[in-house]
Chain A
Amino acid sequence: MIRSRVKKLVVKVSLQIIPFLLLVGCLTPITIETDKVGGSIVISGQVSSLNDRNIVQIGTASQDARLPFPLSGAMVQLFDGMGNDFYYSESLPGIYKLENFSGVPGVPYSLRVTLPDGTIYESDPEKMPEAVGTINTSFVVANEAYIDGEGTPSNQDFISIYHSSNLIELPAKSYLRWSVEETFIISPTDYPDISGSIPPPCFITETIDPQRIVLFDKTISSGTSIQNQFLGRRIIDYSFLEKHYFSSYQTALTANAYEYWRKINILANQVGSIFDTPPARIEGNIKNIKNYSEEVLGYFQAVNENVDRIVIFPSMLEVPLEFQKCDFTGNFNPLDYPTRCYDCLRVRNSTYDRPVWF
């Protein structure tokens, strides 16, 4: 497994060699006409030791550049190695959650998905890792260079999230992944009305830098702790006008799940160098029980997780927050307010469900 260390270095090489080659080069978008191959079933998700992290997404791959179409009405069962089964329920189209359940480290879990047409898919069993270690989160605010989606460079205020972890209790064959999520609140404009009702706030949860896949393989390192490892950064915008949480997750993976994420990491870091590892399809661990040759995309993992949250209040940021607030200004015209102020559910991933820890 020490080889993974070298792979990481190879990925690093690929990542950095292109800026060098770009000394005299250029990068331009190009249209590649590909065959229309959509329609494959996509099942991905996890059972976690944390009770609010059990989620499965089901969809069908699109035939073009779009993301999968959600697939509703499926029956999603979790089996443990002791003959028990538990049911995920559909919370949003194609998104299934298992509430108030905490996976038990050391127990094998597998998933069964039964589609409305009766097709059954099952995952290979995954034994939830025994230990995960501890994590602490910190942040730094700085004005940093930024290139937007149009390629325009500028300087922006960013908040960067770091973690420090204690790994001393981890067994020798341990595999970790770190990720960070943000959760913030939007309180809509409270227009005066006769009933005096107050519109409910929305809660938005997003993964920060989802393509930054930070992995660790204990078998290759003699280190027993990690100090201030960068996890991701977030531009400071209107979302910091109110309370804003960052949740750093330290996730213990099985060896197979680690391999799956390692391959995604390779694909996420393709930089166009002829030294890149050639891309390929990533095989998951889910099969159609009656047709093993059917392509099923995605992976179901059993993870032991630890989380550390930090809360950021506007006063902690020491940078000007010159964004339009949703406070009522005496103007009743909704168009004079940002969309989020009169309909916060329009913000992606927003919900009225307040996380219990928020």
Chain B
Amino acid sequence: MNRRCWLFIFCLIPCISFGQTDWQAIPTVTIGKDSVSKESMVIITGTIRLKNSMEPIVGASISADQHKFFNYSDTEGRYILELPPGNYRIIVRHLGVKPGYYRIKVKSKGVFNVELEEGIIDLAELIITSRPIDSNIKQALTGIAQLELQEIKSLPTFMGEVDILKSIQTLPGVSSVGEGSSGFNVRGGRVDQNLVLLNGAPIFNASHALGFVSAFNQDVLNNFTLYKGNVPANLGGRASSVLEINTRHGNFEKWQFQAGIGLASSRFLAEGPIVKEKTSLLVGARISHSDWLLRKVQNPDVKNSSLFFYDANLNLSHRFSENSSLRVSYYSSRDFFQFSQQFAYGWDNYLTNVEWRSLANRKVSPVLSVVNGRYNSSLIDPSGVDASQLDNKLDYWQVKEIVNYIPNEKHNVVGGFEGTAYLPKPETLNPYKGNTAIINKQVDKNHGIEASLFLHDDYQVSDKISISAGIRYSWYAHIGTDTVFNYQPGVPKTVNTIADTSYYGKVEKAYTNGGFEPRFSARFSVTKKQSIKVGYNRMRQYIHLISNTTAPTPVDLWQVSNEYIPPQIADNFSLGYFWNLGDNVWETSAEAFYKNMQNLVEYKNFPTLYLNNHIETELLVGKGRAYGAEFYIRKLKGYWTGWASYTYSQTELQVKSAHDAETINNGEWYPSNYNKPHTFNLVMNRGSRKGGAFSFLVSYNTGRPFTAVETSYIVGGTVVPVYSQRNQYKIPNYLRFDVSFTIGNVLKKLDDSLVISVYNLFGRDNAYSVFYQRPASNYFIPKAYKLAVLGAAMPSLTYNFKF
């Protein structure tokens, strides 16, 4: 980009001014009564809410005396502060709302509720985090990754879609196979090892458009947290990480509407009270309208293709009292992708979550939730005499009871239980729309139930030391009705080595497994701005994504553990050094991790995975290891904010057996599909108080492994390539530069913004993959080609408005 262009961009960035808080103008609020007993410390509690909607603010920070005493609000907006009686200046912050400044005089224990106003933040006060600015130093847990929604919304986007999943991939230790791949990998873990929770309910496919867009509507989201290192004991079921995404409650005070119109999709949100201050409703929806873009393409197959998706959220919240509330949230999404008359993919998510929260007393708050979900996928051949549709459906139920107990400011205890039932429907192949030559086929799938008990405590031992430790016990059973094949011992499992079968009646246990999952993390503060953290986690996973492709497809199968597919077990070790600089304006960290993984599902060559009632004959069980280091620096305050991250990591697998047929790469360690040793990301953002922003992103990583052709031969005129051992070579390295420019207040009567974004500004033809094709002429051996799917600059335009 030439100098003139840069000048143009900077000229568009609005001017910035600074402000100062006048403390003397703020009246003092007295809390408590004069006490006869001279307590050294008293407890202040309260709730932090939005002023208009009365919606609780999760994760808002409240600090007294310049962070000498601080805490942050829980999922119901509640906080607790322990401090000596006296006069304090209180600051309450959360991104996207105006900070609250208060003066209080504390005499004894009491309640102090806070209401904050939504609004644009003066840049002078802008700190791009809602959590306490030194929480990265003080938290005991290692490997927590958090970004603010405001930050994500200012990042450059692909096709104008603000995307949580793409955004977290700019953080250290998080990556994906490549552009357009669904899912993400955390510290060498597989895609299926990430538990994605939407309002606490697991979701099985978090992507639209084959992975180019995430399945979450930005307007509905409230906050999210990625646990990539230590995971609290109340969360589990997957071996690598947990991504918790929470959506907003509806506005309890007044009706509000907002919308966004983009080139490829648009969205709408309405929220407001059904009964003022008691019951609120939030309805959000997003729908694609990208087919008009496809119609512009000359290729007739592309012109006749269709790409459609929608997602919808409905949140109904009711407050029975100050201490009791109920939320019913419903989420559904649908994707349909058809390429001409050649094939189509369809996939749906349905999720219903009923959650009851209460505050039994100031110290105990139980939360009970019941979840019902379904993930459907279809692979369709729409034409010809053999037109067919392959369907898979996974139903699941989950019940969870969590009790939060805060005996004092030093302890935060969480205990409870969780039960999940995985009830997949039979896999079916049927003729597509009428009579075709296809024979109906059905294969029953395994059912499983999982139950867990957990107890976790965040313990503030002293100013210097804190511990986050817990224990989870999980138990699993593969249950009937089912018929299990038994194989001859000592030989590879094939159809020909099936010895007999065992039948299990309804709910009869065919296989059980279970074990303890200790979680431990400790923080030692070297100084007020430096700390060292260590962590160890064991995670067990009883459901597996059966996916023999480089990246998961929407029609991959979810398979519960059984006699031949034991649970995945991961032991995660981490060690980190955290250092804040310049009055907490800069956050830095260096973390090392090692992950040992048992019972990873691998695949024989050319496996048959669909409609296979003895799928274990196509699978292998191996082990894995991942290790690496992450370096992170983040600027929280100033004209420019942003972060840079560098990750070095290696992920390797080993599948070893006494039989060659069940061994990969001679039993040696080999790199995983997504092993990318070096990853670097730089994100910078410059905001303005008028809602404008300029941001850019630089992303670099080394190429992922692939299997290359080493020689060839001919059979009957057909050239047969001879491939190397699995994943022995690497595709070229990847580099991308994106920019985004947001113009605030486009129309003065509306609270609106216009987002202009260019993905891959320099049009670099990054390798999506390397593969082999044989030239048109006979007898020529296959040649290697680099495929770039987003090899051009991709501009997008989105107009957002509220009323």
Contact = CB atoms under 8 A, between A and B. Distances in A.
B773 A270 contact: yes
Contacts of B783: 29
Contacts of A207: 716-718, 778
Q: Pick from A4, A6, A15, A263 the residue with the most CB of B within 10 Å.
A: A6
Interface in B412-463: 429, 437-439, 441
Interface range, A side: 35 or more
Interface string A53-95: 0000101011111111000000000000000000000000000
A204 B718 CA distance: 17
B792 A34 contact: no
A122 to B, nearest CB: 18
A21 interface: yes
B67 to A, nearest CB: 46
B721 A267 contact: yes
Contacts of A206: 717, 778
B709 interface: yes
Contacts of B781: 65-67
A277 interface: yes
B726 to A, nearest CB: 7
Given A210-B717, A221-B386, A21 B711 contact: no
A315 interface: no
A264 B720 contact: yes
A267 B720 contact: yes
B385 A223 contact: yes
B551 A12 contact: no
B785 A21 contact: no
A167 B117 CA distance: 76
A278 interface: yes
B257 interface: no
Interface in B695-720: 707-720
Interface stretch (A36-44, A107-115, A123-131, A132-140): A36-44
Interface stretch (B28-36, B336-344, B367-375, B530-538): B336-344
B378 to A, nearest CB: 11
A267 B771 CA distance: 10
A220 B605 CA distance: 22
Contacts of A277: 548-549, 606
Contact of A26 (B553, B724, B771, B791): B791
A21 B719 CA distance: 27
B438 A5 contact: yes
A173 interface: no
Contacts of A59: 713
Nearest to A15: B342
A22 B789 contact: yes
Interface in A24-51: 24-32, 34-35, 37-38, 40, 42, 44, 46
A9 B771 CA distance: 20
Contact of B732 (A4, A30, A213, A280): A30
Interface string B757-787: 0000000010111111111111101011111
A179 interface: yes
Given A27-B785, A30-B732, A211 B715 contact: no
B474 interface: no
Contacts of A2: 429, 439, 441, 611
Contact of A42 (B178, B381, B713, B716): B713
Nearest to B732: A30
B563 interface: no
Contact of A3 (B439, B549, B610, B708): B610
Contacts of A149: 775-777
A298 to B, nearest CB: 6
Interface stretch (B142-150, B164-172, B294-302): B294-302
Interface string B787-801: 111111010000000
Contacts of B301: 16, 19-20
A25 B790 contact: yes
A19 B342 CA distance: 12
A106 interface: no
Given A3-B611, A270-B771, A67 B714 contact: yes
B606 A270 contact: no
A276 interface: yes
Interface in B709-758: 709-724, 726, 728-729, 732
B608 interface: yes
A4 B386 CA distance: 12
A13 interface: yes
B612 interface: yes
Interface range, B side: 35 or more
A143 B711 CA distance: 36
Contacts of B181: 274
A332 B110 CA distance: 116
Contacts of A271: 771, 773
Nearest to B611: A3
Given A12-B342, A148-B776, A179 B723 contact: no
Contacts of A268: 718, 774
A23 B297 contact: yes
Contacts of B778: 206-207, 210, 348
Interface string B581-625: 000000000000000000000010110101110000000000000
Given A7-B610, A9-B379, A67 B779 contact: yes
A2 B342 CA distance: 19
Contacts of B377: none
B325 interface: no
Contacts of B548: 277-278
B64 interface: no
B133 to A, nearest CB: 40
A263 to B, nearest CB: 5
Nearest to A299: B715
Interface in B46-72: none
Interface in A190-228: 206-207, 210-211, 213, 220-223
Nearest to B390: A6
A37 B711 contact: yes
A26 B788 contact: yes
A312 B302 CA distance: 36
A20 B713 contact: no
Nearest to B441: A2
Contacts of B441: 2
B714 A57 contact: yes
A220 B385 CA distance: 13
A28 B437 contact: no
Contacts of B716: 44, 46, 179, 207, 210
Contacts of A67: 712-714, 719, 779, 781
Contacts of A321: none
A326 interface: no
A21 B302 CA distance: 10
B349 interface: no
A267 to B, nearest CB: 6
A25 B791 contact: yes
A95 to B, nearest CB: 11
A13 B343 contact: yes
B513 interface: no
Nearest to B339: A16
Nearest to A227: B385
Given A23-B297, A211-B719, A275 B551 contact: yes
Given A3-B610, A29-B786, A283-B605, 13 more contacts: A2-B439, A4-B608, A24-B791, A24-B792, A26-B788, A32-B708, A40-B722, A223-B437, A266-B606, A275-B553, A277-B549, A279-B721, A280-B605
Top 3 nearest A-B pairs by Cβ distance?
A207-B717, A272-B771, A280-B605
Interface of A: 2-7, 9-10, 12-13, 15-32, 34-35, 37-38, 40, 42, 44, 46, 57, 59, 61-68, 147-149, 179, 206-207, 210-211, 213, 220-223, 262-264, 266-268, 270-283, 297-299, 348
15 contacts: A2-B429, A3-B612, A6-B610, A10-B379, A16-B301, A27-B786, A65-B711, A65-B781, A66-B781, A68-B712, A210-B717, A210-B718, A271-B771, A279-B772, A297-B720
